[in-house]
Amino acid sequence: MYDCIIVGAGPGGGAAAYHLAKQGHSVLLIEREALPRYKPCGGGVSPQVAEWFDFDFSPAISVRVKRIRCTWKMTDPVDAEVPDDEALWMVRRDQFDYFLVQQAQRQGAELWQETKAKGIEFKGDRWQVETSRGPVEGRYLLAADGGRGVMAKWLGFTQRRHLLAAAVEIEPRLEMPDEPLLYLEMGMVQHGYLWNFPKADGYSIGGGVMRVGDQRRQDLRAPIADYATQFDVTMSQQKAHGHPILAWDGDQRLHTQNALLVGEAACVVDPFTAEGIRPALFSGVKAAAAIDRAIAGDLNALEGYTHVMQAEWGQDMRWAKRLAQVFYKAPKLAYRIGVKRPNAAPTIVKLFNGKLGYSEVAQRAISRLSGGFLSGLSNS
C-alpha cells in the first residue's frame, strides 16, 4: 500500500509526486502513455515555478525568450524586452513533463507508465485503483489526469465549474534564429489570440479561443494557416493537434474523501491566457503539502487545500476572468488603448511570470477599457 497514488504524469502530478516523495512518503505515479509522450501545448512556462522546487530546470528548457512582439492582424506591432531574470521559458511538454517525473523518481517515487486506470473504490481508509496491471491501494489519491480525464467524475465531481476554451497548434521543426522572439497576434480570431512560441528546433504555432460556450464554434485552422505563412510555414504540411481546455470559472470544492484534484482536472487554467502549466505545478505543490499534513494527522488538511487554492489562486483568477470578459469583447479597442499603452507589454510579461497579480492591474485596465468602449459608443 502506498501513501499516495497519483493518476496522471503531467505537471500537476509530477510536482505532487516530487514533493511527497521528498518528504519520505511512498508514491505511485500512474500514466497511461509511454514517457516521454507528446502533449499539445504552446509550452510557455514562467520562471517563477523555479521557486517551488530545489533543482535546476535547465535541462528541460528549450530556449529562454527575452523579446516579445504583439500584433493586430499581423500589423501595428508592439515590441517588449524582457529582463534577463524574467526571461520566459519555452519548453516541449514531452521533455518537460518527463524531466519532472524523473526528479520525482530520484526522490523515490514509483512510476507505472503505459498503465490505464480502470476504476476506483474507497475501502474505508484507503483507495483501491483498478489498473491494467491489476489493483493497487493507496491511503490518498490525486486526480491529475487532465480536463478530459475520468478521475474527477469517478471521485464524484460530475459538475465541475469551468469555462470551455479550445486550442489548435502545429509544431514545425526548422532552423531557428540566434535570438528567439515570441509572437502574439490579437486580431485574427474572435475571443482569442494566435501565438508563435519558439523552441530550439522550431516553433509552436497555434491559436486559442476563450469562452467558446458564449459563441458559435470557430474553425481555428484557417487563421492559423494564414498566420503560419508569416513564418514560411505551410500548415497543410504539418500535423495539427486540437484540444479543449477547462479554464477557471469560479471557486469550487477540490477535495473529497482522501482525494484531491490538481491541474486541469481541478479547472485551474488561467481564463485570460489559457496558461495551464504554472497553475498545474502550483496546485501539485499545494496538494502535496496538504497530503503531507493529512498523513501527519491533520483532519482538515484536504479541506485546507481547497481553501488555499481559492485564496492563493482563485482570488487572482476572478480578476483574470473579468479582464478576459472585457478584453475579448472589444479586442481592437483593447489592443489600441491597452496593449499599445506604454509599459503594457512588460506588464503582460510580469502577469505571466507571477511578478504581478491580476488584482494589481486588472481593475485599472478594465476601467480604462470600459471607458474607451463607452467613449466609442458616444462618438458613433
pLDDT in tens, 29-56: 999 999 999 888 899 999 999 999 999 9
Instruction: Report the pLDDT value the prediction gives residue 40, as an integer from 0 to 100.
Output: 83
CA distances from 229 to 187, 305, 306 (A): 16, 46, 45
Domain ranges of the chain: 2-317, 319-379
Band of pLDDT at residue 2, cut at 50, 70 and 90: very high
**Nearest alpha carbon to residue 110 among 22, 14, 15, 26:** 26
Mean per-residue pLDDT for 142-168? Answer: 95
C-alpha cell recorded at residue 192: 482569442
Band of pLDDT at residue 375, cut at 50, 70 and 90: very low
Band of pLDDT at residue 380, cut at 50, 70 and 90: very low
Band of pLDDT at residue 372, cut at 50, 70 and 90: low
Band of pLDDT at residue 329, cut at 50, 70 and 90: confident
Kindly tell me if the per-residue pLDDT of 309 is higher than 60.
yes
Strands (E), 224-312: 241-247, 255-256, 259-261
Confidence (pTM): 0.94
Band of pLDDT at residue 376, cut at 50, 70 and 90: very low
Q: State the residue for C-alpha cell 516521454.
A: 36
Per-residue model confidence as pLDDT tens digits over 262-305: 999 999 999 999 999 999 999 999 999 999 999 999 999 999 99
CB 82 within 8 A of CB 63: no
Share of residues in the chain with pLDDT > 70 (%): 95
Q: Which fold has domain 2-317?
A: FAD/NAD(P)-binding domain (3.50.50)
Kindly tell me if the per-residue pLDDT of 145 is higher than 50.
yes
Residues 6+ apart with CB under 8 A from 154: 119, 120
**Nearest alpha carbon to residue 10 among 131, 83, 139, 99:** 99
Mean per-residue pLDDT for 140-157? Answer: 97
